């Protein structure tokens, strides 16, 4: 299983900065080690240009941070999977905690997106994770179980192990500089692995589980060897090619 290094740029960078960052990242990391893949998740307006830069390079992929689960239509401001695929995306994030929080995305709506995106041919990174109150109350298992069972309700695909990734992102570790400990990561990823095996049988063992939340060039050495960590979803540290490249080549 190749490890996936995904850079979620959120709502950062203007166009020229985005293009420069990708060029720099590729010069620092190409050719990639054979066991690694890089996924760049920039804002929508830069997708096509970045696709043109990376499409011929082995191991580099492009994805979106979100989409709307309809084929097309009068949905002002929204973007469909068909549009994303057409400009070179192969992945999209679904259910990031910032979308759950600021855009009130429910597990049911997230489930609709997972199913629709997969059906249209996108690979999906489903983000899950507890917040600090839930952790303090000892509800990590309960939250992960709910987000997985609802988010993946009736999700079926012959190649689910290639098309689905889960990102475990404890909300309290996102953008805070406070990273989960290797033990906390191991426990959560083990829970997720078991839930995936319950849902998908043997294929559940092959679905990549990424860790996300304040990953940086220093802590990556402790995170990557943790059992069931099959890659990372990086926010802040993916914005600078120098730091993202160190994470990728760690």
Catalytic residue among 37, 105, 161, 169: 169
Q: 114 vs 210, which CB is nearer to ligand PGA?
A: 210
CB of 169 to ligand PGA, least distance (A): 6
Reply yes or no on whether 189 is catalytic. no
Q: Is residue 80 at the binding interface for ligand PGA, with CB under 6 A as the rule?
A: no
Q: Is 191 in the site for ligand PGA (CB under 6 A)?
A: no
Residue 204 contacts residue 196 (beta carbons within 8 Å): yes
Q: Which is nearer to ligand PGA, 32 or 41 (CB)?
A: 41
Catalytic one of 96, 105, 161, 189: 96
Binding mask 166-185 for ligand PGA (x = CB under 6 A): ---x----xx----------
Contacts of 41 (CB under 8 A, 6+ apart): 6, 7, 8, 9, 62, 63, 64, 65, 91, 93
Q: In which residue are the tokens 């804002």 written?
A: 43
Q: Is 8 in the site for ligand PGA (CB under 6 A)?
A: yes
To ligand PGA, the closest distance from the beta carbon of 70 in angstroms equals 25
Alpha helices in 107-215 (DSSP H): 107-120, 132-136, 140-151, 160-163, 182-200
- Does position 233 interact with ligand PGA (CB under 6 A)? The reply is yes
72 catalytic per annotation: no
Q: Which two tokens stand for residue 149?
A: 């069972």
What token pair was written down for 49?
A: 């240009």
Paired with 123 in beta bridges are 91
213 makes contact with ligand PGA (CB under 6 A):
yes
Q: At closest approach, how far in Å is the CB of 208 from ligand PGA?
A: 15
CB 14 within 8 A of CB 234: no
Distance separating alpha carbons of residues 40 and 22, to the nearest angstrom: 8
Is residue 95 part of the contact set for ligand PGA (CB under 6 A)? no
Interface residue with ligand PGA among 42, 59, 235, 241 (CB under 6 A) is: 235
HSE at residue 213, side-chain half, CA atoms within 13 A, is: 26
Catalytic positions are: 96, 169
Give the residues lining the site for ligand PGA (CB under 6 A): 8, 169, 174-175, 212-215, 233-237
């Amino acid at each position: 299983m190749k490890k996936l290094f995904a850079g979620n740029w959120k709502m950062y960078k203007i166009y020229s900065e985005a293009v420069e960052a990708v060029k720099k990242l590729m010069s620092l990391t190409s050719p990639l080690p054979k066991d690694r893949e890089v996924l760049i998740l920039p804002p929508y307006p830069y997708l096509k240009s970045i696709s043109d830069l990376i499409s011929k390079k082995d191991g580099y992929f492009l994805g979106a941070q979100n989409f709307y689960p309809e084929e097309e239509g009068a949905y002002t401001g929204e973007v469909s999977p068909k549009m994303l695929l057409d400009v070179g995306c192969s992945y999209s994030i679904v259910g990031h905690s910032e979308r759950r929080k600021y855009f009130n995305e429910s597990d049911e709506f997230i489930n609709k997106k997972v199913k629709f995106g997969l059906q249209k041919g996108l690979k999906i990174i489903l983000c899950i994770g507890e917040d600090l109150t839930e952790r303090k109350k000892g509800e990590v298992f309960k939250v992960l179980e709910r987000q997985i069972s609802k988010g993946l309700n009736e999700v079926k695909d012959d190649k689910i192990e290639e098309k689905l990734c889960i990102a475990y992102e404890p909300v309290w570790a996102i953008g805070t500089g406070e990273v989960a400990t290797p033990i906390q990561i191991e426990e959560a990823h083990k829970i997720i692995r078991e839930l995936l095996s319950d849902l998908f049988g043997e294929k559940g063992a092959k679905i990549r589980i990424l860790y996300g939340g304040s990953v940086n060039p220093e802590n990556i050495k402790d995170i990557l060897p943790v059992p069931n960590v099959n890659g990372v979803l990086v926010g802040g540290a993916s914005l600078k090619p120098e730091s993202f490249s160190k994470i990728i080549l760690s």
